[in-house]
Amino acid sequence: MGEVERFVAERARLFGLAYRLLGEAGEAEDVLQDAYLRWRGSVAVAVPEAWLTKVVTNLCLNRLTSARARKERYVGTWLPEPVVTGGGELGPLETVEQRESLSLGMLLLLERLTPPERAVFVLREAFGHSHREIADILDLEEAHARQLYRRACAHVGEPRRRFSATPEQAGQVLERFLAASVEGDMAGLERLLTEDAVAWADGGGKASAAPRPVIGRDRVVRYLTGLARQLRAAQAELRVSIVNGGPAILVWERGALSAVTVPEFDEGRIVAVRTITNPDKLAFVAAQLV
């Protein structure tokens, strides 16, 4: 297998790794471009998969510090850049851990971690690497890698929500949620939301979005029904797709993607709703759907 073919064969896995580490699809694409250039310029590599994993991980670690500073200057709520999944774009999503590590909720929890903690957690949880392999990737002692993993689990463990619903069950809840929103059925929405539900919106200062989180079921219901009225007035088209490993709503206005709404499910109900309207963050999804 030639070097180009080898890289192409590894691309989905590597993109999935870079995206989980950065939470930004555009940045992940840039990392893969840099990794490919290094791959083309490398001497013979004994284990290409391991070599590429190490290069991509370390390129991401180099970007995470500057990314944190950029997010601190971000206008309004920062949410990860959404990605359409289901076609193998980010590697396998067969296990609960693989799907969970890709959710917007988990990507936000990973923002709490130091760059090394995030790398260890993603390599272990999403890709099943052993502590010995992770230590080799990060040039650490194995004991240090284990310690970083324990710290990462402690930081994300308490608020962490496992997927208790299958993708099929989540899809059914989303269909009811979509119908209730479109119809302005406030009672129906109340039944689907948990009492402590929260809604976030990321417009990045470039599109309409709630400037602060909307907290509590009653407030979220009013917020969602208000959005639905605006969409009806704009004659928007709503579609359901698989985004970040779970069902989501894509909003199209005049042929252009204007929003991606991603619910988070817990015990068959919706505990959080995250909406991205920043056009810069929608460009990757829109390109995927062409």
> What are the tens digits of pLDDT across the range 252-289?
999 999 999 999 988 789 999 999 999 999 999 999 99
Domain residue ranges in the chain = 3-157, 167-288
Backbone angles phi, psi at 276, to 5 degrees: -110, 120
Asked whether 211 and 287 are in contact (CB, 8 A), the reply is no
Query: Quick one: which H or E segment has residue 248?
Result: strand 246-253
**pLDDT bracket for residue 3 (50, 70, 90):** confident
**Range from 46-50, 84-88, 147-151 that averages highest in pLDDT:** 147-151
Q: What is the mean pLDDT of the chain?
A: 91
pLDDT reading at 227 higher than 60: yes
For residues 84 and 243, the answer to whether their CB atoms sit within 8 Å is: yes
* Domain with residues 167-288, CATH architecture: Roll (3.10)
| Calpha distance 275→105 (Å, rounded) | 12
Tell how far CA 252 is from the center of its chain: 20
pLDDT score recorded for residue 53 = 97
pTM: 0.92
For the four alpha carbons of 213, 214, 215 and 217, in that order, the dihedral sign comes to negative
pLDDT tens-digit series, residues 237-257:
999 999 998 899 999 999 999
Neighbours of 272 (CB within 10 A): 22
What topology is assigned to 3-157 in CATH? Butyryl-CoA Dehydrogenase, subunit A; domain 3 (1.20.140)
